[in-house]
Chains A and B, each alone.
Chain A
Amino acid sequence: MSNTKNNIKYKAPLSHQLNPGHSACAGCGMIIAARLVMDTAGPNTIVTNATGCSEVTTTQYPMTSFKMPWIHSLFENPAPMASGILAALKVKGLEDKVNVLVVGGDGATFDIGIGLISGMWERGENTLYICYDNEAYQNTGYQSSSSTPFDANTTTTPPGKKSSGSQQLKKDMIGIALAHNLPYVATASVGNTLDVVAKVKKALSIKGPKYLQIYCPCVPGWGIEPKDTMNVARSAVQSGFYPIVEYIDGELVSKKSAQGGSALGGVTKKVSIEEFLKPQKRFKHLFKDENGKLEIAKIQKIADENIEKYKLI
């Protein structure tokens, strides 16, 4: 009857901000990114989380992996939740003392939550939005989202006699973020952990709404080996497939990685698009016949266009 009896909420122990004991898959790119983000943001942070892998794997009642105040409401609404949290912090005079992180997958971000994210950004509140981009609705069984890349095999874009996988291009979420005049917009890849940490730090040092999109391979969804998460996360960047960019006040201030160099995830001509696609079952159908070669050429063109657009080499 009273709030003490309300056992939906419970206390967390342990040393990281996001602790072991969660149920993410071995080799999960998202959970690596999440721990880096949470540890970097530190304990003086409130997190609002969308439904998806990042939520179901971390807070299965009666346990939690989070050592920081954390709330999950729905799939699409962590952004307006953050606006409410900030309004309350303002009432308490804490709005400049506590970080507010909003986190969600690509489905939550590119698709179902996009209008609500736009609303939050437009209000200009001091938030950092983190998108764990694993390029599909992985939690519900690998269905395509508008972040799913061209030709990828997902359970709702299966290749077949009449299809070579997803026929839509990945939505330009970075462009959408920039159109909101955010003071900080960046991508990172979990293959370069130092870059993720540096970008979270950088973002949190800037006031206003920030957006950071982190590339996170999904072991079962992409059909890779757990040991290959970091390799795939790097070759995506090195091949130009996933551009790593950083904008401050709309100006492109860095690309590749904060540290630079191909070993840390910068673009290098040495890594071909085939090398990136090959270890992933979601692109396996492209390696079967002549038609597949034509499709791979199209993906190469997408990577080349990225390299050209952001002058990545």
Chain B
Amino acid sequence: MNKILEGSRAIAETIKNIGVDVVSAYPITPQTHIVEELAKIKADGEANFEYVRAESEFAAASIVEGASATGVRTYTATSSQGLLLMTEVLYNIAGMRLPVVMTDANRAISAPINIWNDQQDVMVVRDAGWIMLFGETVQEVCDLHVLAYKVAEQMMLPVMVNLDGFVLTHVVEPVNIPEAEKVKKYLPKYNPKEFLDVNNPLSFGAFVTPEHYMEIRKELYDDIVASEKVMIKEMKEFKKIFGRDLNLIEYYGDKNADTVIVAMGSVLGTIKEAVDELNGKPHLNPPLRKGRKNSVGVLKIVSFRPFPDSEIAKILFKAKNIAVIDKSLSLGQEGIIATEIKRALSGEKKKIVSYILGLGGRDITKEMVKGVIHGINKEKNRVVFVGK
């Protein structure tokens, strides 16, 4: 059913329809509305999950970890400083192979303190062993949560669904909340074989010496790699039941583009509009070939971990210029997606420029995007900050 809702309410209603057992969270802007809505849903008797109030994000993450280890379906959400505070627990959840699902409302990191959107927070935990997904619209974010539980519980891997803070958490737009009956068809009851159980006593979280540690870590690595195929399969399954598309990556624009913009999250909307306005029109700055018209494509990354290297390479191998737009950066290095793209295309001779936009909530305009497209041919710098 199509409803007009705030992004946070839509996520909360999706979580309700998924049927989680234990929720624990700690408030931080711009995640707050999600956990407030869940508290309201519980208070109104619309769902009967346990809602455990935590005294910090570190506690919230530990609470869902303990609950997940006891064999029930869990949910938490956070943002920015809260995600960083959770870091030690997030690594632990993944290492323990617990299928926790969480939402991160992406926000800048202090200092200087700033509550607005960028994607620096999540990059801090990109190697924690979580599957990491990024939605462009509220609809996609809701759908990704349903997929997240399906994949998490199948693979015994935690999944983090990311959405841009404020831009998506606070936007009001029409959305189809995944219906509870359809979720039931898609997502089996969570029924783990091993959990904390007095009838089947097991030890979890053992101390592992050099003799065994590597194999256990490699197993985690292998399973995250393997989750790519599982996600593709489950995305198809999702389409059958819900009728909506989900993809690891998506391509938009000119099929034979000489310039491709790569990005992740809500900024894709602005980028696509800018590209629509440019495509087919004469190129302003020296075109690749004389008289050639603008021919631009857009590559959207949905799955950041696993990073679908070969799928991405298949799309980008034709392009000459690749502009990677990052809302985060490795200080002293470059944009983090830029590094990933260079790695995925290693061996290919291409011009890949790392553009940093929108840090700390700076608006990203169509003009900025157009500037990137027009300028990339002449661009000499490896990393370019676009603030105006």
Cα-based distance from A67 to B200 in the complex (angstroms): 9
Q: Which residues A88-114 have CB closer than 8 A to chain B?
A: 88-92, 98
Determine the distance from Cα of A69 to Cα of B206 in the docked complex, in whole angstroms: 12
Residues from chain B with a CB closer than 8 A to the CB of A130 are: none
A70, CB-defined interface residue at 8 Å = yes
Q: Does A56 contact B (CB under 8 A)?
A: yes
Contact B97 A74 (CB under 8 A): no
Distance to closest chain B CB from A179 (angstroms) = 15
A43 touches B65 (CB 8 A): no
Q: Chain A contacts of B206 at CB under 8 A?
A: 8, 10, 59-62, 64, 72
- Are A59's CB and B207's CB within 8 A? yes
Say yes or no: is A119 at the interface (Cβ < 8 Å to chain B): yes
A4 interfacial by beta-carbon distance below 8 Å: yes
A46 CB contacts on chain B under 8 angstroms:
70, 196, 198
Bound together, the chains give a CA A250 to CA B74 distance in angstroms of 36
- For A55, give the chain B residue with the smallest CB separation: B207
Cα A277 to Cα B53 with chains together (Å): 45
Q: Are B208 and A61 in contact (CB under 8 A)?
A: yes
Cβ–Cβ < 8 Å partners of A245 in chain B: none
Docked-complex contact A64 and B203, CB < 8 angstroms: yes
Q: What is the minimal beta-carbon distance from B268 to any residue of chain A, in angstroms?
A: 32
Pairwise interchain contact B198-A98, C-beta atoms closer than 8 A: yes
Q: Chain A interface mostly helix, strand, loop or mixed?
A: mixed
Query: Cβ of A44: which chain B residues have Cβ within 8 Å of it?
Result: 198
- On whether the beta carbons of A68 and B63 are closer than 8 Å, the reply is no
Q: Which residues of B from 203 to 232 have beta carbons under 8 Å from A?
A: 203-209, 212, 216, 219, 222-223, 226
CB distance from B324 to the nearest CB of A (A): 32
Tell me the smallest distance from the CB of B229 to a CB of chain A, in Å: 11
Assess whether A198 is interfacial by the CB under 8 Å rule: no
Question: Cβ of B201 and Cβ of A66 under 8 Å apart?
Answer: yes
Tell whether, in the assembled complex, residue A84 and residue B196 are in contact, meaning their CB atoms are under 8 Å apart.
Answer: no
Can you name the residue of chain B whose Cβ is closest to the Cβ of A71?
A: B204
Whether A66 and B203, one on each chain, are in contact in the complex, defined by CB atoms closer than 8 angstroms, is yes
B69: which A residues are within 8 A, CB to CB? 71, 81, 84-85
Contacts of B202 in A (CB 8 A): 9-12, 69-70
Q: Is A3 an interface residue (CB 8 A)?
A: yes
Q: How far is the CB of A51 from chain B (nearest CB, A)?
A: 9
Q: Is the pair A1, B155 in contact by a Cβ cutoff of 8 Å?
A: yes
The one of A2, A10, A80, A85 in contact with B54, judged by C-beta atoms closer than 8 angstroms, is A80
Cross-interface CB contact of B204 among A43, A72, A90, cutoff 8 Å: A72
Chain A nearest CB from B193 CB (Å) reads 5
A313 contacts the other chain (Cβ, under 8 Å)? Answer: no
Binds A, one of B88-96, B250-258, B281-289: B88-96
Contact of B371 with A by CB under 8 A: no
Contact A8 B205 (CB under 8 A): yes
B201 touches A122 (CB 8 A): no
Can you name the residue of chain A whose Cβ is closest to the Cβ of B93? A73
A155 contacts B by Cβ under 8 Å: no
Bound complex: CA A46 to CA B89 (Å)? 20
Q: Contact partner of B201 among A2, A62, A70, A90, CB < 8 A?
A: A70
B58–A116 CB distance below 8 A: yes
Residues of B within 8 A of A70 (CB): 201-204
C-alpha spacing A66/B196, complex, angstroms:
13
Query: B67 contacts which of A5, A59, A84, A98 (Cβ < 8 Å)?
Result: A84
Taking A43-B198, A69-B196, A119-B56 as known contacts, 4 extra A-B pairs with beta carbons closer than 8 A to each other, sorted by chain A number, are A6-B97, A8-B216, A71-B196, A72-B206
Which are the 9 A-B pairs with shortest beta-carbon distances?
A84-B66, A88-B70, A119-B55, A80-B62, A81-B66, A72-B205, A84-B67, A64-B203, A84-B63
Q: Can you list 21 A-B contacts with CB-CB less than 8 angstroms, sorted by A residue number?
A: A2-B156, A3-B97, A8-B208, A43-B201, A48-B66, A59-B206, A60-B206, A60-B207, A60-B209, A61-B208, A73-B92, A73-B205, A77-B65, A80-B54, A80-B63, A84-B63, A84-B74, A85-B67, A88-B68, A92-B70, A123-B52
